[in-house]
């Protein structure tokens, strides 16, 4: 019966293959037979977790920033408590910032902020960056603060703010408001806001706002100047 024999042979082959597979497994157990595996990836993971950043000494920071020694101590203790590794990466930053704005989506604005704090653009905010930024905002002159704000708006850091950049910023700020606002948020609200901003700031109407135009226009606005006093007592 050729059919039967064919079946038998096929099955015998299968049986032999199964036996071979089991044999290989047994050899693996004994460590005599090491199949090719992706062992490199394991080592990579170790690298990341051991990164730890220490800030420069207290004296240096005192020189660089306008905070007193005690203030720096308090700031560092809080920072280290939250980020034991010494640095904040973008994800953490977004998460922290989102805790203050539960109603809306603050992730875009947080990204912009992160880029503003991360002055050396290495993807992480260390304590020095953190404290330097805070020093400018909280202890700097009005011009310093305006400079910092300009830096925040200038997304590509080319020295001037275009309408698109401003629109992105504006949208991110309005996103933080969330859905439930009064009056209800309209689609065109950010765009209108940007238009009014440019009308105020853009002196030569060339469609971009440079740093000089920006500072000049802000200094002329009393409201803005007065609101700058808000930041004197934050820390």
Partner 1 sequence: MAAGVATWLPFARAAAVGWLPLAQQPLPPAPGVKASRGDEVLVVNVSGRRFETWKNTLDRYPDTLLGSSEKEFFYDADSGEYFFDRDPDMFRHVLNFYRTGRLHCPRQECIQAFDEELAFYGLVPELVGDCCLEEYRDRKKENAERLAEDEEAEQAGDGPTLPAGSSLRQRLWRAFENPHTSTAALVFYYVTGFFIAVSVIANVVETIPCRGPTRQPPREQPCGDRFPLAFFCMDTACVLIFTGEYLLRLFAAPSRCRFLRSVMSLIDVVAILPYYIGLFMPKNEDVSGAFVTLRVFRVFRIFKFSRHSQGLRILGYTLKSCASELGFLLFSLTMAIIIFATVMFYAEKGTNKTNFTSIPAAFWYTIVTMTTLGYGDMVPSTIAGKIFGSICSLSGVLVIALPVPVIVSNFSRIYHQNQRADKRRAQQKVRLARIRLAKSGTTNAFLQYKQNGSLEDSGGGEEQALCVRNRSAFEQQHHHLLHCLEKTTCHEFTDELTFSEALGAVSLGSRTSRSTSVCSQPVGAGSLLSSCCPRRAKRRAIRLANSTASVSRGSMQELDTLAGLRRSPAPQSRSSLNAKPHDSLDLTCDSRDFVAAIISIPTPPANTPDESQPSSPGGGGGGGASSTLRNSSLGTPCLLPETVKISSL
**Residues 91, 125: contact at Cβ < 8 Å?**
no
- Among positions 27, 196, 203, 206, the unique one binding partner 1 when judged by CB under 8 A: 196
Rounded least distance, CB 36 to partner 1, Å: 27
94 contacts partner 1 (rule: CB under 8 A): no
Contacts of 113 (CB under 8 A, 6+ apart): 93, 97, 152
- Among positions 8, 21, 27, 58, the unique one binding partner 1 when judged by CB under 8 A: 8
46 contacts partner 1 (rule: CB under 8 A): no
# residues near partner 1 by CB under 8 A: 59
Pairing of strands 160-162, 208-210: antiparallel
CA 153 – CA 5 distance, rounded (Å): 81
37 contacts partner 1 (rule: CB under 8 A): no
- Among positions 28, 58, 74, 206, the unique one binding partner 1 when judged by CB under 8 A: 74
26 contacts partner 1 (rule: CB under 8 A): no
Of 43 and 96, CB closest to partner 1: 96
81 contacts partner 1 (rule: CB under 8 A): yes
20 contacts partner 1 (rule: CB under 8 A): no
**Torsion-angle region of residue 220: left (phi > 0), alpha (psi -120 to 50) or beta?**
alpha
223 contacts partner 1 (rule: CB under 8 A): yes
198 contacts partner 1 (rule: CB under 8 A): no
CA 131 – CA 142 distance, rounded (Å): 18
- Among positions 152, 160, 167, 177, the unique one binding partner 1 when judged by CB under 8 A: 152
Rounded least distance, CB 58 to partner 1, Å: 16
- Residue 209 belongs to what H/E stretch? strand 208-210
Contacts of 114 (CB under 8 A, 6+ apart): 90, 93, 94, 125
Residues at the site binding partner 1, with contacts judged by CB under 8 A? 1, 4-5, 7-8, 11-12, 14-16, 18-19, 70, 74, 77-79, 81-82, 96-97, 99-100, 109, 112-113, 116, 130, 133-134, 137-138, 145-146, 148-149, 152-153, 169-170, 173, 193, 196-197, 201, 214, 218, 223-224, 226-235
């Amino acid at each position: 019966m050729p059919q039967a024999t064919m079946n038998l042979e096929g099955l015998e082959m299968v049986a032999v293959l199964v036996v071979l597979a089991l044999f290989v497994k047994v050899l693996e157990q004994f460590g005599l037979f090491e199949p090719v595996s992706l062992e490199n990836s394991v080592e990579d993971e170790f690298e990341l977790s051991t990164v730890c950043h220490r800030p420069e000494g207290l004296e240096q920071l005192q020189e660089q920033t306008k905070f007193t020694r005690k203030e720096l101590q308090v700031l560092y203790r809080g920072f280290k408590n939250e980020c034991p590794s010494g640095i904040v990466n973008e994800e953490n930053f977004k998460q922290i910032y989102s805790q203050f704005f539960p109603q809306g989506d603050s992730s875009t604005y947080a990204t912009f902020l992160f880029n503003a704090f991360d002055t050396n653009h290495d993807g992480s905010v260390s304590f020095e960056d953190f404290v330097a930024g805070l020093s400018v905002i909280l202890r700097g002159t009005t011009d310093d603060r305006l400079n910092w704000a300009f830096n925040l708006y200038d997304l590509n850091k080319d020295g001037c703010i275009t309408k698109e950049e401003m629109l992105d910023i504006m949208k991110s700020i309005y996103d933080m408001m969330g859905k439930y606002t009064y009056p209800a948020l309209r689609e065109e609200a950010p765009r209108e806001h940007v238009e009014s901003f440019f009308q105020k700031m853009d002196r030569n109407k060339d469609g971009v706002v440079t740093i000089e135009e920006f500072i000049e226009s802000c200094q002329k606005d009393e409201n803005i100047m007065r609101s700058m006093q808000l930041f004197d007592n934050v820390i």
